[in-house]
């Protein structure tokens, strides 16, 4: 059955210098355009960041200070390019953890004076999975790779490296969720984005309540 995703969406992912949204820099980013359930266009950016890249994050995305400075584009130019693509296409933006990828992009844009990221139709595959597949057991089973595997997405080891690969996987997870949960496909992208915002708040409340019940260490 046709749904909003068939008309197109942008799957987006970032790799960064850290996990602090207010302070970390985007090192690489990727946007993959899906139409009709298939990736049809891919864009990626490697930025020349203005802070050292910690070894712990280099171990994740493979980008060293040397690579960033030698091969990266000017930070302002790269961030402006990312912003322009996400905004100009007018498509829903799909992330696996949009509460990280979009705020960190916004913070990076503000830091260099490019202006905030405008409101986008934000569809988070991670929140959908937590809401509609509540009883996943096992440590770290909500991460990108095991989540993809739970939805039957078969990928090689080469598919798990870098922002472009992760963006593509996020898009495929979203498509699998729409197929698995028909009620989601009945919503428009805007309706789904609004529901995801409410689900995210509910999930955070549940987590805080769970924390409050844990015995002190």
Report the C-alpha gap between 170 and 144 in whole angstroms. Answer: 8
Q: Domain coordinates of the chain in residue numbers?
A: 4-212
DSSP per-residue string spanning 135-149? ---STTTTSHHHHHH
DSSP, residue by residue, 64-81: -HHHHHHHPEEHHHHHHH
The CATH code belonging to domain 4-212 is: 3.30.420.10
d(CA 80, CA 26): 12
H-helix or E-strand containing 7?
A: helix 4-7
User: What digits encode the pLDDT tens for the residues 118-176?
Assistant: 999 999 999 999 999 999 988 899 999 999 999 999 876 665 667 899 999 999 999 99
Report which of residues 39 and 115 the model is more confident about. Answer: 39
Could you read off the pLDDT of 67-99 as tens digits, one per residue? 999 999 999 999 999 999 999 999 999 999 999
């Amino acid at each position: 059955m046709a749904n909003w995703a068939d008309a197109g969406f942008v799957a987006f992912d970032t790799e960064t210098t850290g996990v602090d949204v207010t302070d970390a820099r985007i090192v690489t980013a990727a946007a993959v355009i899906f139409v009709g359930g298939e990736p049809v266009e891919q864009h990626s950016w490697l930025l020349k960041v203005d802070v050292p890249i910690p070894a712990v994050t280099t171990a994740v995305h493979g980008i060293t200070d040397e690579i960033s400075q030698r091969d990266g584009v000017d930070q302002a130019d790269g961030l402006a390019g990312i912003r322009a693509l996400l905004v100009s296409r007018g498509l829903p933006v799909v992330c696996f953890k949009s509460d990280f990828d979009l705020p960190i992009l916004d913070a990076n844009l503000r830091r260099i004076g490019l202006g905030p990221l405008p409101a986008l139709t934000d569809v988070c595959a991670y929140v959908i999975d937590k809401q509609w597949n509540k009883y996943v057991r096992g440590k770290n089973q909500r991460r990108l790779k095991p989540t993809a595997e739970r939805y039957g997405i078969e990928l090689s080891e080469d598919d798990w490296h870098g922002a472009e690969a992760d963006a593509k996987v996020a898009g495929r997870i979203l498509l699998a969720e729409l197929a698995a949960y028909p009620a989601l496909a009945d919503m428009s992208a805007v309706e789904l984005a609004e529901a995801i915002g409410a689900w995210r708040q509910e999930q955070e409340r549940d987590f805080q309540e769970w924390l409050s019940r844990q015995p002190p260490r």
